[in-house]
Chains A and B, each alone.
Chain A
């Protein structure tokens, strides 16, 4: 790898922009990044600030002044947040495993040109794009299946995304047919080809689709609100809404924290709220860097061809 100099990056026919132009562009880009980063920075910083720093800032902290992980100790020491975290992690892990394997299987099953029935079945999948069943019949169905207050109600109704299936299918179709044909000649079954050839060749696409599923399970709020009456089973997003956004009193390690009174006396509450917010961000921010480099390869390619 040679380092690319700036003069080589700019084509020779393109003249340097004016100073004013450069400045405008730089300001635009800085604003673009700051708008995203600044709120996250403030939230994270406040969550690790000491009560004293929060008091002095009068609420959210912009300039660090001593750190304290008191809020995390409080939140993770027990109570409603820990339970919700475990529920969210469990639902995300199980849901993603189910969704990804079922989607990948179907995507391969529908990806061989000329296979038996693949056109009508593909149409049945694509038709789900055009209309949604609506929340009321869905609710009544989940209710009549006895899934209310069951974690399966968070997983099964949205387990298959037709979009993800189509993206993965077009990725599979991009695998050279000769590879699969020659395996067939060697006597490999479709199961074997799927497991030994198609899956290993599609790691990038599987990673991206897996991330999409994982994020949708982690972020799912409405299904939980609809199907879980029992607040002891709530996932993190519902806890976030109820205690952090709406400010209901929250049970933590050292007793009840009343997030609705944001006077000076209750200032540590701010850091507790911010800590919950950060906990909801962490998994996404942690997986994201490993998967983002596949975005273009895994998704644009699939979406454009699909």
Chain B
């Protein structure tokens, strides 16, 4: 109120002097700036951090089009056009990493994605609030552990000197090291993802379940629908919008598999199984100091990822869902 009255005071004062629309507009801007400068000042530190540590390095991706050398810097290094990309597309190791990334995404889509949904439905059927809260809090917990910790715990359970091998050994079987098997690596990382994040991923489905109208259940129960039919015809359709939304988001995220998770285990299982685009960028770009090629690979991934996000958002809007960002 105080603000708008301030504005009208100036608005009535200005027209007498202002002859053009432009000057009046400038005056209004100045008024708004005077009114809101404190809000702008509060926003400033965050924007400064984003500018320096997000926007500036994003521009730094131009080295993908250069033969970058640390001595000459971005300004002094020679431009090579799309040379780095051409090199990249001819590098079998890059294609190997890309194929691995997509395989892992596809595998996790089938074997990870449904787990939180199933857990949410299971937990939703627990009637006693205390018990429910207890279980919920226990399964959320691993989400807050770091990848190093999760991988270490898995190694201690399933690794060569781990609990499983130890128990097998005790009963006269040959123990084996599941933590270093390239063949089962896909299963291992999916199990790690489930352990760490399935409980947390459940939250959003629990929220969706709580919005389903209980009258629907009552009506169908009165009509004689069995427990399973109620789940099939009410619960799952109730979750449909969330499931679709998350599937779409997953598409936009297809090239981002857990970076740390793979980096940490790369040496144990070997690059053959554990190399993804991110680790490829890391090893090529920073370990062998091939900055330009690494930046090109990461830019390539970024552009495809961004395209996938925009496409999936388009699909989301077409399906009448909210999508990733709302048009407001």
Contact = CB atoms under 8 A, between A and B. Distances in A.
Given A36-B138, A43-B156, A126 B325 contact: yes
A277 B2 contact: no
Nearest to B196: A36
Contacts of A115: 32, 36, 39
B144 A109 contact: no
Nearest to A17: B227
Interface in B279-308: 281-282, 285-286, 291, 294-295, 298-299, 302, 305-306
Q: Chain A's interface: helix, strand, loop or mixed, by majority? A: helix
A146 to B, nearest CB: 13
Contact of A32 (B43, B47, B122, B298): B122
Interface stretch (B11-19, B99-107, B158-166, B180-188): B158-166
Contacts of A129: 324-325
Interface in B313-328: 324-325
Interface string A171-200: 000000000010011010111001000000
Given A157-B53, A284-B144, A110 B43 contact: yes
Interface in A143-161: 156-160
Given A11-B218, A185-B2, A165 B46 contact: yes
A106 B153 contact: no
Contacts of B140: 292, 295
A75 B31 CA distance: 62
Q: Chain B's interface: helix, strand, loop or mixed, by majority? A: helix
A69 interface: no
Given A134-B302, A300-B207, 5 more contacts: A125-B46, A139-B285, A141-B52, A162-B50, A165-B46
29 contacts: A13-B218, A25-B122, A35-B195, A58-B169, A60-B163, A62-B163, A102-B49, A105-B42, A106-B42, A108-B39, A128-B50, A130-B306, A131-B58, A131-B302, A135-B281, A135-B285, A136-B281, A136-B291, A140-B63, A141-B57, A158-B53, A187-B2, A190-B38, A191-B38, A221-B147, A222-B259, A240-B146, A277-B156, A284-B145
Interface of B: 1-3, 29, 32-33, 35-43, 45-47, 49-50, 52-61, 63, 70, 119, 122-123, 125-129, 135, 137-142, 144-149, 151-157, 161-163, 166, 169-170, 195, 199, 203-204, 207, 214, 217-218, 221-222, 227, 259-260, 263-264, 267, 278, 281-282, 285-286, 291, 294-295, 298-299, 302, 305-306, 309, 324-325
